[in-house]
A = this chain, B = another copy of it.
Amino acid sequence: MVVMKLQPISPSLTVNGCTDCPIRARAVCADCNDTELVKLDKMKSYKSWKAGETLVHEGAPLEFAASIVSGCATLSRSLEDGRRQIVGLLLPSDFIGRPGRTRSEYAIEATTDVTLCLFRRGPFETLLRESPRVASRLLEMSLDELDATREWMLLLGRKTAREKVSTFLLALLRRTATGVGPYRTDLPLSREEIATFLGLTIETVSRQLTLLRKAGVIELDGLRTVICADLHLLAAESGDEVAEALLP
């Protein structure tokens, strides 16, 4: 799982075998050989949630490990007075669960309809012990997540509201940057969720979107669709010139 992932969100679909699984190449099982896949196949099951539903409450028992197959969910932590911060976005192929722990430190909530590939805890941890390929893939994914989380710390601690919103939109749009523009994406989060992710209020997010639109950096089609003709313009607003240099 990654705070802000740069990969396509697959449409929801029914999956049975691992061979034609849409996240086969990027999930925790990416490096599995056939033997390991068979073992995984025996311990797995699929489950779906509707947008808005809570998968796991903050501090509640987490009796499975899982991969996101389709949809989008958030990881969040709260203070007692209700202030809340989204600390990670879970997108297809991201992993849920922590070896050796049976409690989730975070609330996990579906922001769109979500389907998970669930693994029973016991068998999964056994596999992790016995299959270095799975263990090393999980380490690699965790370190990617750590890098992404640290990048988000820089955003939360040092960027302005406008830069925060631009960075968020840019990250989403880059996932769909297939060649030339205009680029278009559907926001997987509501304004409130975006605010909770960026350490802002809903009003500030709304205002910054309006300002970016009036500045000609983006267009909005309805509430959820963002269009950007020139990602360089957006990158220039994101406070991160390195990001701009890496654009197509």
Contacts and interface: CB of A to CB of B under 8 A. Distances in A.
Contacts of A136: 129, 135
A242 interface: yes
Interface stretch (A83-91, A185-193, A224-232): A83-91
Interface in A145-166: 145-147, 149-154, 156-159
Greatest chain B CB density within 10 A among A105, A149, A198 is at A149
Contacts of A100: 140
A122 interface: no
Query: Copies per complex?
Result: 2
Given A85-B153, A106-B150, A158 B199 contact: yes
Contacts of A106: 150
A85 B154 contact: yes
Interface in A34-71: none
A127 to B, nearest CB: 12
A171 to B, nearest CB: 16
